[in-house]
Structure 1
C-alpha cells in the first residue's frame, strides 16, 4: 500500500508498506528480472536493494573507467593509491546527492598481484534504490514507471519459493596442509607473525545464487549479508565482520574477529567449544594481535585520543562457527576522508595477517589470486558515509563456474590438521545451502 509519492525533476520517491518479511521482499526484487544488475546489502535492521546502473566506476590495474547517466564512458590511467583513484572518480559524479554499491577485490591492496583482466573494484550508482526498515520501504528512482513496478513487487503477498539445496562436500583432498606447513616455516623464520592461507573449493554444477542466498541467510547470523549480480559476476555471502564503517560525522568502526571454533553442534557441544576458544592461548594471541593492528591502523587516520576498543574478546556466533570478536572505534582526523579509513583498514587484518604488508606478500605466493574472497562489498554516499563488509562465508559464480572459499589464520602454535578443520567449519556456513541451478 502506497503511503506517499514525491516526484521532482531528477527522481521519484515512493513509500510502501512491505507485505512480507524483508528477505522475501528482497528476493522478489532480485528475482524479478526488472533490472539488468543489482546489489543487495543488509545491515542490522535495514535491507537495501540497488537496481540497475545510472553511474558506474570500474577500477583495473592502471586504469579507472567511469560511465555516468549521459552514457559517455571515460578511461584514464591512474598511479599511486587505488583508494585515491576511486575518490577522484566519484568526485566527478554529476549529481549533488548519490549512493553507490559494489565490491572491492582483495588485490585492491596489491594490484601487482591481480590476475590478467581482473577488476580491482566495481561500484555502481543505481537507477533505483529500495531501503526496507521496520516494515516499510522507501523506493527512490529516476524512472517513475520503474518505481511503480518496484512498489507493486513489494506489495505482493505471494510467498517467494525457496528451492531445496544440494549440499556441497567440503572435505576434499587438496594441498592446503602443505601450504599451511610452508607458512609455519616462514613464521618460524621470522618473516611475519600471522598469515591467512585459504582453500578454494570448486562446485561441480551450476548454481542458483539467489536460491543459495535464501537458504543460507535463514541459517546464518551475519554482521552483514549481501547478494550481487554485476556484469555477469554473481556472489552472495554472510559476512562475519565489518571492515570499516564510517559515519557522515566522521566516526569510524572496525570489527576484527580472530579465533574460531565450530558452532551449531548442540548446546553442550557449543558451550564446550566456547570455553575452549576463550582459554586457548593460540586463539587468544591471534585475536589480541589483530585488535592491536586495527588500533594502530586507526591511529594513522583518526585523532589518536578517540581510538578505543569496546567489547573486547566477546563471542560472536556466525552461522556454523563462533569467533572471538572486538570493536575498535575512532573519529577521523581533520582532512581525512572515508577512503582514507577504508584504505588504512583494508584488507582486513583477520583475512590477511600481521604485519600486513609481509602477510599480503606471502598470500600472493601461498594462494592463487583471491578476487572478491577476503575483499569487501560496500556502500558509500556523497555525505561521507561508508560501510564495508568483509567477504567471507560466500558463494561466487562467473562464466558458468561456481566456487566457495575459506581460510584460517596461521600463527605460531597452528597445526596443518587443525587449520584444515577450521576451513571445513567455515565452509559449512554456506556449503549445506548451495542450490543447483535448474
Structure 2
C-alpha cells in the first residue's frame, strides 16, 4: 500500500481518537491519548497523564504553552485542532460588547502511538506497534466510490450577504472580509474514504484527517497559518486571489494570466501580505521579517491562488505559541482589519466551528506547524457538510464571489463518499 492508503487503513482500524497530518510528502498518524488538553473561554483542562482544571486569563496561547510545559514526559509531540472562535479570546481581537465564544475552542492530544510514513519507509513509536503492523499487513480495502455533491446549491442567501459586505466596505467600515457559505450534505459520509479520494485529486500544502471526541474532519489545506522550526524560524503563507484550475492547459493558462493582472485580486493579495508582515513584527525581530516569492501562483486542486511567503525569526523570549496567536486567524480567512472583519463575520456568517481554524502539531523542541482548515469536509452528530468562502473587497461582485466558492468547493465535492450504511 502507498502512504495514503496506509493512513486510510489506520484510520479505519478503530482507534478512538486520531489525527493524521501530512507535510511535504510525510504522513504522521497519531492515535490514542496519553494526555488530552482542552481550552475554552475560561478554563484550560488536561486529562490522562496530566490532570488539571484551571481558569486562565491573559493570553490563551500562553495558557496552553504553560500546560504543555507541565507534561510528565521529557519529549512529546501534540496534535489537535483550534476552532475559528479562538479568535474571540485573543486579547488583541476581542470585540467589546460581544459574549465570549462558547464551547471547546482547542483540543490537543499527546498520542499513545505515532506512525510516520514516508518514501523512506515506516516507523512506529509508542504502544501499538503490533496492532499497526497487523493493520498494514492486511489486504487493502477497495478504493471507495464517490457520490459527488452539487456545489451550486445556495440556501444561505450568499449573494445578498456579499452585497451587504461590499456596501459596508465602501462606507469605510473595513477593507476586506471573508464570507463563507455552508453546503450541507443530505447523507452520512465516509470521512476516511472522502479524504483518500480528495487527497488523490489535490496538491495541498498540508492535508489532515481527524476524529477527536467523536467529531470528524478531513481536508487538503491550501496554506499554512504559521510554521515555526526548532531554531525559531517563522513562516506564514497568505494566499489571496483565486481562479479555477484543472480545466485544460489553455483555460488554466488564461485564468492564471487574468489572476496575475486583475487589480481586485492583486489588491486583495497585497493587503494580506502587508497584514502578515505587521503581525510577524509583533513576535519576531523586526529586521528579520521579509517577503519571499511575492505573488507567485500555487495550484491547489480545482483552484490556483496568488501566494507569498512572509518570514521572520522569533524575538528573544517569544515562542511558537506566541507566533500562532499573532497571526490567528489567518488573514486570508478573516479580513482586514481583523477586529472589524471579525465583527462583520459574526454578523454575516454562520458560526464557523473548525472551518478556517487550524489543525496543528507541535513539539517539545519548540516547533509548531498549523494548517489552515479550508477545502475540508466535516461530520458531527450524523450531519455532514462542506464550506467555502471568498474574500470580499470594494470591487467584489456577488456573482463572481459565489462562483469563487463553487471553484473552491470543487476541491472536495466530487470526492464525497457516502457512509456504507447510508448510501446517497
State whether TM-score is above 0.5.
Answer: yes
CA distance in 2, matches of 1:363, 1:251: 31
The correspondence for 1:262, drawn from 232, 237, 244, is 244
Q: Structure 2 CA distance, aligned partners of 1:423 and 1:399?
A: 25
**Match 2:121 to one of 124, 136, 148:** 136
Structure 1 residues 67-89: Cα deviation after superposition (integer angstroms, max 9, x where no partner): 1326xx42221222221221122
For residues 320-374 of structure 1, what are the alpha-carbon distances to aligned partners after superposition, in whole Å with 9 as ceiling and x for unaligned?
A: 1000001111000100010110011110000000111111121111112101000
1:99 aligns with 2:77: yes
2:206 corresponds to: 224
Verify: 1:59 aligned to 2:39, yes or no: yes
Q: Secondary structure at the match of 1:110?
A: helix
Q: Give the direction of change, closer, same or farther, for the CA distance of 1:29–1:247 in structure 2 (3 Å limit).
A: same
Residue 28, structure 1, aligned to residue 9, structure 2:
yes
Pick the aligned partner of 1:366 from 338, 348, 356. Answer: 348
- How far the C-alpha of 1:45 sits from its partner, in A, is 2.3
Which residue of 1 is the match for residue 93 of structure 2?
none
Deviation at 1:164, TM superposition (A): 0.3
1:250 to 2:228 alignment? no
Q: Which residue of 1 aligns with 2:144?
A: 163
- Residues 154 and 183, structure 2, Cα contact 8 Å, conserved in 1: no
Matched, 1:431 2:416: no
Contact kept, 8 Å, 1:115 with 1:369, in 2: the verdict is no
Q: TM-score, normalised by structure 1?
A: 0.92
Report the CA distance between 1:114 and its aligned residue.
6.3
Q: 1:135 to 1:27 in 2, by over 3 A?
A: farther
The DSSP-based 3-state class of the residue aligned with 1:335 is: coil
* 1:210-359 aligned within 5 A: 210-359=192-341
Contact 2:49-2:71 within 8 A present in 1 as well: no
Equivalent runs, 1:392-407 vs 2, <5 Å = 392-407=374-389
1:50 aligns with 2:35: no
Q: Contact 1:236 / 1:396 at 8 angstroms: preserved in 2? A: yes
TM-score, with structure 2 as normaliser: 0.95
1:157: Cα distance to partner? Answer: 6.5
**In 2, Cα distance between the equivalents of 1:102 and 1:162?**
27
Write the distance in 1 (CA, Å) between the matches of 2:409 and 2:59. 33
Given that 1:286 and 1:411 are in contact with CA atoms closer than 8 Å, whether structure 2 keeps it comes out as yes
* Conserved 8 A contact 1:67-1:74: yes
The 3-state SS of whatever aligns with 1:364 is helix
Partner Cα distance (1:31, 1:212) in 2 = 12
Contact 1:114 1:369 in 2 (8 A): no
User: 1:113 deviation in Å?
Assistant: 5.9
Q: Could you tell me how far 1:173 is from its partner in structure 2?
A: 3.0
What's 1:68 paired with? Answer: 48
RMSD: 1.2
Quote how far apart the aligned CAs of 1:131 are: 1.1
Cα distance in 2, alignment partners of residues 123 and 185 from structure 1: 40
1:188-247 alpha-carbon deviations (Å, 9 max, x no partner): 111110000000111110000001001100000000000000111000000000100000
- Which one is further off, 427-436 or 82-91? 82-91
CA distance in 1, matches of 2:256, 2:405: 18
Aligned length: 411
Q: Contact between 1:68 and 1:94, CA under 8 Å: does it hold in 2?
A: no
Q: Please, which runs of 5 or more residues in structure 1 have no aligned partner?
A: 1-19
Equivalences for residues 85-124 of structure 1 within 5 A = 85-111=63-89, 116=102, 118-124=103-109
Partner SS for 2:33: coil
Post-superposition Cα deviations, 1:30-79, rounded to whole Å, max 9, x if no partner, equal 1111x211100000121100011101101112121111326xx4222122
